[in-house]
Amino acid sequence: MITAAELMLDLSIPEPGAGADPVVAPKDEDGYLRTLFEKAVGGFYTKFFQPRGWTVQTGKWLSWNEAESTPRMSAILPKMQTDIILRPPSRPPIIVDTKFTRVIRANQYTQERLKSEYLYQMYAYVRSQEGNSEFGPATAGLLLHPVVDDDVREWTFIGMHAFGVATVDLAGKYSAIVAQLRAAVDVPDGPHR
């Protein structure tokens, strides 16, 4: 447990057999590393941003804010659980979704594109909360992915909402990872801000 806590604070991904401290090998599943990355990012924002007046929530369930539904529809709507919600002082909230996959992939025409399902998921998170007083009409959405030897930091505005995609280079030095995580949530001023 102590080793796991150190990994979270140091934002490290374990390498079985590396170093003096033995580490239990992660499962050969993306889920383990994705969860580890998600927890490390949530821990980072809690440790470094809460003292600066930010509110950090992890694993929060969102409702669809249905206006009117048949009884069965309410029961069959998919659940929405966010990875991280950041509430900076005097700024709109940011819903952060972490993934442990490549952020940009070549499509069948060899053009680089974001994975559409991830963007649709973030769009649903953000737009479904427009009527929720905890979020409001200018909530931002951020897809945050780990990479090795790359740097992506892009933003766009769709309506009043900022949507971003950013990466964290896990092969970088600790100071570089910290800088990337800080820069990732620096939402630009857009046409409605």
Report the distance separating Cα 83 and Cα 111, nearest Å: 29
189 part of a folded domain: no
Q: Which domain holds residue 96?
A: 30-68+76-184
Q: What are phi and psi of 154, to 5 degrees?
A: -130, 145
Tokens 């909360």 locate to 129
pLDDT by residue, tens only, the chain of 193 residues: 344 445 545 555 444 444 544 444 455 456 788 899 999 999 999 999 999 999 999 999 998 888 888 889 988 999 999 999 999 999 999 999 998 887 777 666 767 788 889 999 999 999 999 989 999 889 999 999 998 877 889 999 998 999 999 999 988 899 999 999 999 999 998 775 5
CATH number at residue 128: 3.40.1350
Q: To 5 degrees, how large is the angle CA 32–CA 62–CA 64?
A: 130
7 part of a folded domain: no
